[in-house]
Amino acid sequence: MDGGPRVPEQRRASSATEAAALRFSVLGPVRAWRAGEPLNTGSPQQRALLAALLLREGRTATAAELIDALWGPEPPSQALAAVRTYASRLRKILDPGVLVSESGGYAVRGLGEGVLDLAVAQDLAAEAEKAKGAGDLHQAREVLARALAQWDGEPLAGVPGPYAEAQRARLEEWRLQLLESRLDMDLEQGCHAEAVSELTALTAAHPLRERLRELLMLALYRSGRQAEALAVYADTRRLLAEELGVDPRSGLRDLQQRILQADPALAEPSSPVPDPLPASVRPAQLPATVPDFTGRSAFVTELSEVLASAEGRVMAVSALAGIGGVGKTTLAVHVAHQARSAFPDGQLYVDLQGAGPRAAEPETVLGSFLRALGTPDSSVPDSLDDRAALYRSVLDGRRVLVLLDNAKDAAQVRPLLPGTEGCAALVTSRVRMVDLAGAHLVDLDVMSPDEALQLFTKIVGAERVAAEREAALDVVAACGFLPLAIRIAASRLAARRTWTVSVLAAKLADERRRLDELQAGDLAVKATFELGYGQLEPSQARAFRLLGLADGPDISLAAAAAVLGLPAEATEDLLEALVDTSLLESAAPGRYRFHDLVRLYARACAERDEQPPSEREAAMSRLLDFYLATAAAFYAIDRPGDRLVDHLEATGYPGLAFRDRHEAQDWFYAEAMPVLACVRQSTAPGLLRRAVDLLWAAVDLAESGANSREYETTAVFVRDAVRTSADVRAQARAHVVLANAYHLIGRFGPANEQATEAVRLADVAGDPLPGCWASNMLGIIALYQNRLEDGEAHLSRAIDSFRACGDGPGEASALCNLSRIHLAMGRTASAVSLAQQGTGMYDAMGHALKGANGRYALGLALTQGGQYDQAAERLQEALEVFRDSRMRLWEGMSLFRLAELDLAAERPAQAATNAESALTLLRGIGGDWRRGNVLTVLGRALTLIGHPGRAQVCWREALAIFEGLGATEADEVKALLSPSAVA
């Protein structure tokens, strides 16, 4: 192929202009020529990009699809830039207008006839098929030989990437099919002696390809070599048994029997090996693919690769997240169209109506398939088994793709699967067919945000979306990135030129109306979900409705059992059944979640079908009880001796019991978001007290820093809810919870206001515990605000109150906080004594976590007293406990205090290391005030180790923080900064 792709004879009389045109080769090394002169197509990756575009036959490939084609699921960080570079270089090499950019991707356009060797081969193969159908075997063979001559070694030789690998396999398989057809014609024309040597070499190269073995047996028999023909069969049978554990297919077995019987018809070239599928009957039943098919490149590649290599392999496309509308059919049809060339004997399609009330009967489908394959009505058997057997016989020796869409279950599918090599089946279903033996299962999820926006843009138009991109993102997010929902929303907008994208986004923002808005013509998201819901058993339908009531990203099995009021085993059976029907997703072992739109549908069903409404209320009450009882168990383990657990609201549904603190922590942090969501949902009068207590018992979510912002948002929500109630007890506790949340993120002014109100309300309610903790909080806030005398008064009152309540941990906390007040007053010895007293109380109660708080306070006091070694030991002990308890906030603050100690002990390099580690841990938690203090210390350390420029950067950031907060620390930082920096 030195001068470019070979072309049919009738095309060689081309004009001078055509002679100067580009030509490309992919049926060998990827190459290009202009006027017969080879062009430098660049690096292997650049040739891979050219090949991917050429094989799309003029269709646009998005950048994401090209990245996936070149590198697969783990592209390099600069993949997009590399693709653009390769495209730019190719554009300079090729003629103007050949490689074009559009819709964020690339395409090769304007290629005429005979330009690409693959297109030439396809045209010639089609011409040969026509000649064969007309009975002109001589002409068919000659044309087919020219088609095979287009190959110049291995297709796409040397081209890297998963796409090239899949296409290489596809093109090689097609070459072998053409070769088999040509050899079949050779035997038909009596050229059996000449074919023996070629077939012998081919069977050696492809020992498991039974069609080649069959042709070799026939060629040997017609050449008078009967014993050798039978030896080929024996060798084939042995090889298949050893390699695959299977017997030869029926065609090969039948040929052996005819040779043994010396069938006279075999010797006649005019009597070829029986062909079960008439050449003129090639069904093409695939529905049209959607013109705006978007994304799914990884799935398309995966399915295409398996289909390309799937000789006799069954493949099921089903989705664990395969809710109605996720695009299973669209994907399967798209992939099937791309694979058509690999299945030249036809494609069958049926909608099995598996999600409807009347699923298609397999025997009915088989009758339709048999007739489509050319079987006369009079020859179609009556029984299912007979039809399935004839169906497999008709497909034997042919390559047919069967698309079984919308299957109900594996039992419906099994009789419809081709049983012979060369055929494949694509099966879509809402049920994950784990019981379909040998199936390649693919779980189809919703679109990525980028894919969803691309689909929306294709339908609505780039100009409208570009003008309101944020609103478009809101629309696709409201659609839950579900393709059907996006298509409906986009179609409604496209049909209403007076609407803006923002109008549509506003309509979809109302959750109660969202499902009603997502319908257009005969498309409706709600109707799609209704099909699956209508097939549920009563117990499954109840579980679906009630579970949809709970907010939160997911729900654990134990929490779901509480919602349903059932044992865990029975609950798991129901939840797994819902997963199998794709109405629920398995987020992780023991955890489940709804798609957002499915949750809205479940709630609509609950309001419609769950009668009386008290059942819904009871379900949410059980969930709240479960979370409160379990959080109380965690609190008791984490804070032994703390009296809060004795003052929480009683629960009527049990919680979990934990073996140790680490198991409790695992549960607590895994359930953080569902717990906070449950609190926000539980502000009705009968639930409000328990909701407030649950939030208080879950204080570690704020203390740890892991969920500080979410905790604060929930605390504000609860505080606002209790204001409208007459429950003073709940009000006092809500104000304490919010005060603590504000304090932990450094909002000391609002924290002080909330704690002051909590003290007042606690006195009115006669509920001493919130008053105790509010006074304790007022003392530590006064320390941060440098109101030391106020702080001492608040903490003294807190100590007395805790003692009156018999709350040892509370008293120890107030003593440690008072230690810090005395330390700020310069009363170091008293500070050390108070911290030691508080730490001793914690240790006596076995309170490891709060004992770490005591050691933290003691370390500060010892540092100021110059006892650096002892201080370092106490702070290091605190650090280890905080780290073990996943208290990132206090782990970071312990490192900060160690940095302060290192500075005092004249270890500036270690101080800088600890301060930088503290900044990393405190990123996004603890509030700006704490960050400003760490930056100040880091700047001091950097100055001492010779990095004054970096120190100035730290201090400038700290100054901006403190001035923004109106904090007195700003003056200290100004004194550190150079005059020019302050100016």
Q: Domain 892-982, what architecture?
A: Alpha Horseshoe (1.25)
pLDDT greater at residue 324 or residue 15: 324
Residues 527-563: pLDDT tens digits?
888 878 888 889 999 999 999 999 999 999 999 999 9
- The whole-number average pLDDT for the span 464-491 is 89
Integer CA distances (angstroms), 965 to 710, 715, 930, 952, 970, in order: 22, 22, 11, 20, 9
Task: Please say whether the beta carbons of 671 and 697 come within 8 A.
Answer: no
Residues 514-530: pLDDT tens digits?
888 888 766 778 888 88
Residues 645-658: pLDDT tens digits?
889 999 999 999 99
Fold of 191-271: 1.25.40
Fold of 297-442: Rossmann fold (3.40.50)
- Alpha-carbon distance of 801 to 557, in angstroms, equals 41
- Alpha-carbon distance of 5 to 38, in angstroms, equals 12
Fold of 1-189: Arc Repressor Mutant, subunit A (1.10.10)
SS3 per-residue string spanning 22-36: EEEECCCECEEEECC
- The chain-wide mean pLDDT, for the chain, equals 86
pLDDT exceeds cutoff 80 at 786: yes
Collapsing DSSP to helix, strand or coil, 170 comes out as: helix
Range scoring the smallest mean pLDDT among 341-345, 459-463, 774-778: 341-345
- Alpha-carbon distance of 458 to 493, in angstroms, equals 12
Longest Cα–Cα distance in the chain: 117
Residues 962-971: pLDDT tens digits?
999 888 889 9
| Residue 281 confidence class, pLDDT cut points 50, 70, 90 | low
SS3 per-residue string spanning 369-386: HHHHCCCCHHHCCCCHHH
Q: Where in the chain is the domain with CATH 1.10.10.10?
A: 1-189
Q: Where in the chain is the domain with CATH 1.25.40.10?
A: 191-271
How does strand 424-429 pair with strand 401-407?
A: parallel
Query: Can you give the pLDDT at residue 570?
Result: 94
Return all residues near 645 (Cβ < 8 A) that are at least 6 apart: 632, 635, 636, 697
Query: Can you give the pLDDT at residue 48?
Result: 92
Residues 71-113: pLDDT tens digits?
888 888 888 888 888 888 888 888 777 888 876 688 888 777 7
Residue that has been written with the tokens 């129901």 in this structure: 574
pLDDT greater at residue 516 or residue 838: 838
Q: Where in the chain is the domain with CATH 3.40.50.300?
A: 297-442
State what percent of residues in the chain have pLDDT above 90.
Answer: 38
Residues 393-451: pLDDT tens digits?
888 878 888 999 888 888 898 899 887 777 888 888 887 777 777 677 777 788 889 88
- The whole-number average pLDDT for the span 460-475 is 90
- Alpha-carbon distance of 962 to 443, in angstroms, equals 52
DSSP 810-878: HHHHHHHHHHHHHHHTT-HHHHHHHHHHHHHHHHHTT-HHHHHHHHHHHHHHHHHTT-HHHHHHHHHHH
Residues 160-178: pLDDT tens digits?
888 888 888 888 888 988 9
| Residue 241 confidence class, pLDDT cut points 50, 70, 90 | confident
Residues 667-702: pLDDT tens digits?
999 999 999 999 999 988 889 999 999 999 999 998
Prior bond of 612 cis (ω within 30°): yes
pLDDT exceeds cutoff 70 at 326: yes
- Alpha-carbon distance of 16 to 271, in angstroms, equals 48
436: alpha, beta or left? (left if phi > 0; alpha if psi -120 to 50):
beta
- Alpha-carbon distance of 160 to 587, in angstroms, equals 35
Whether the pTM exceeds 0.75: the reply is no
Query: Can you give the pLDDT at residue 851?
Result: 92
Q: Which two tokens stand for residue 893?
A: 């603050």
- The whole-number average pLDDT for the span 852-880 is 95
- Alpha-carbon distance of 232 to 228, in angstroms, equals 6
Residues 707-746: pLDDT tens digits?
888 999 999 999 999 998 889 999 999 999 999 999 998 8
DSSP state of 353: -
Distance from the first to the final alpha carbon of the chain: 75
| Residue 323 confidence class, pLDDT cut points 50, 70, 90 | low
Query: Can you give the pLDDT at residue 269?
Result: 61
| Residue 15 confidence class, pLDDT cut points 50, 70, 90 | very low
pLDDT exceeds cutoff 90 at 581: no
CA 152 to chain centre: 41
Query: Can you give the pLDDT at residue 132?
Result: 80
pLDDT exceeds cutoff 90 at 951: yes
Residues 904-949: pLDDT tens digits?
999 999 999 999 999 999 988 888 999 999 999 999 999 999 999 9
Residues 595-629: pLDDT tens digits?
888 899 899 899 888 767 788 999 999 999 999 99
pLDDT exceeds cutoff 70 at 317: no
262: alpha, beta or left? (left if phi > 0; alpha if psi -120 to 50):
left
Query: Can you give the pLDDT at residue 320?
Result: 32
